[in-house]
Amino acid sequence: MAVSLSHLGEDLIARMANQMRLGFLDVCNLAQACDRDFVLSTGRPIAYTEAKLLPYGGKSFDGASRVDVVVLLTPTLGVPFEVKLGTARLSKSRIDEEWLSGCGVSHNGRRHTGNMMSILEHRFQDHVGDGPLRAQVRGHFVDLTDEWFIIAHESVLETWEGERRPAFSSNVYTCSLKKIVEKLGGREPFNQIVKGMLDFDYYSEWALDDDDEESENQ
């Protein structure tokens, strides 16, 4: 089976952001809001995947509640990105009914539950706090902006125009994968990033050599 783009999505976006740096922020109209010296310094990545949320309003989050990608504007401030690189099941009705349906609580009221879109939209059951959400990236804690992004295919974003736009707040912005790839430089640099992601020793990674060792010992 061919590798699906949606399976690589978060890591792919983070890799492009870390390579493009200010260029990535520029295509998302975020360049004016960043610390340019920090962003242009190559000593530290600016994009991190699967960022764990810190407790908010006295409640922790479900273990599956992680931001797809956090892109840092400064050492202590990041923008959340949700990456949706599939082409199916991204209709207004599904997003509104499932992903924006609001947060719940579990564990006797000690944890927030809900889709990350509802969390980033602060659709909590009650008033739980006035401060920003916070996330952990490589051992550091960063504030998250109220504004957040969805990266999707251009064809998907076109279906969200006008009255077909899901029930997002004004804090939600979108950016197409195509625009990011064009800013990266197009086909060739994009292919090189993907090749780098898939360039590993599949045989050892999937532990096929263990099977050989077992057969030799029989």
Chain mean position to CA 67: 5
Helix (H) or strand (E) holding 60: strand 60-61
What does the alpha-carbon distance between residue 7 and residue 141 come to, in Å, rounded to a whole number?
27
What does the alpha-carbon distance between residue 167 and residue 97 come to, in Å, rounded to a whole number?
10
Strands 47-53 and 140-144: unpaired
Category of 107 on φ-ψ map: left (φ > 0), alpha (ψ -120 to 50) or beta: left
23, exposed or middle or buried, with CB in 10 Å at 0-12, 13-18, 19+? middle
pTM of the model: 0.89
What does the alpha-carbon distance between residue 80 and residue 149 come to, in Å, rounded to a whole number?
6
What does the alpha-carbon distance between residue 215 and residue 218 come to, in Å, rounded to a whole number?
5
Q: Where are the domains of the chain?
A: 5-217
**What's the pLDDT score for residue 1?**
43
Q: What is the pLDDT along the chain (218 residues), one digit of tens a residue?
A: 466 787 889 999 999 999 999 999 999 999 999 999 999 997 899 999 999 999 998 899 988 899 999 999 999 999 999 999 988 889 999 999 999 999 999 988 889 999 999 999 999 987 666 789 999 998 899 999 999 999 999 999 999 999 999 999 999 999 999 999 999 999 999 999 998 888 877 777 776 765 554 444 55
What does the alpha-carbon distance between residue 152 and residue 149 come to, in Å, rounded to a whole number?
10
83: amino acid identity, one letter:
V
Helix (H) or strand (E) holding 25: helix 22-27
What does the alpha-carbon distance between residue 176 and residue 144 come to, in Å, rounded to a whole number?
21
**What's the pLDDT score for residue 150?**
98
